[in-house]
């Protein structure tokens, strides 16, 4: 069973890029696709306490909103084509890159599809700190799209 993880930044530019790029992928040999977004959790220090954004009480709403966007995204990629089993996931973490790498390992992902910021050549390969991190830490094959 082949599993692929697509790491999706939810910016309009990223979603449009992935829609175009992923429509051309041959999904026939792929049994499961994980569309995953990493949401950065921030910790702020005040004079007397620490606070986080988002608050833990907001996690469920954020995850639902992200999954709803991913379902629309998924429908546009596959259209009428037969699609593999789909998992839509939002990971909320202080270190989304690390959490997404760990998720891929725990889920036994065979290949991760990621995008860089559109630079070309060697500069483009390393322009994305996310892509660079995954090159060093992902426990699976990578497909890097520019």
Residue 52: φ, ψ to 5°: -120, 155
pLDDT for residue 126: 52
Please say if the pLDDT value at position 16 is more than 80: yes
Q: Enumerate domains of the chain plus CATH numbers.
A: 3-145 (3.40.50.620)
pLDDT for residue 94: 93
Predicted confidence (pLDDT) per residue in 69-125, tens digit: 999 988 888 877 788 999 999 999 999 999 999 999 999 999 999 987 655 556 555
Q: Which of 38, 55, 57, 41 is nearest to 103 (CA)?
A: 38
Please say if the pLDDT value at position 128 is more than 60: no
What is d(CA 108, CA 52) in angstroms, rounded to the nearest whole number? 31
pLDDT for residue 118: 58
pLDDT for residue 124: 52
What is d(CA 96, CA 59) in angstroms, rounded to the nearest whole number? 14
Q: In what order do the strands lie in the sheet with 85-93?
A: 85-93, 32-40, 3-7, 111-115, 141-145
Predicted confidence (pLDDT) per residue in 48-70, tens digit: 888 888 989 999 999 999 999 99
């Amino acid at each position: 069973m082949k599993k692929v993880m697509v790491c999706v930044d939810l910016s309009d530019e990223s979603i449009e890029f992935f829609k175009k790029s992923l429509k051309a992928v041959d999904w026939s040999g792929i049994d499961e696709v994980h569309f995953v977004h990493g949401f950065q959790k921030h910790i702020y220090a005040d004079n007397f306490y620490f606070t986080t954004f988002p608050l833990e009480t907001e996690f469920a709403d954020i995850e639902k909103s992200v999954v709803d966007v991913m379902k629309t995204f998924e429908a546009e990629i596959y259209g009428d084509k037969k699609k593999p089993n789909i998992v839509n996931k939002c990971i909320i973490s202080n270190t989304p890159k690390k959490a997404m790498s760990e998720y891929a390992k725990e889920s036994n992902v065979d290949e991760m599809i990621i995008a860089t910021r559109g630079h070309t050549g060697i500069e483009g390969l390393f322009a994305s700190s996310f892509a660079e991190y995954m090159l060093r830490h992902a426990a699976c094959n990578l497909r890097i799209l520019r």
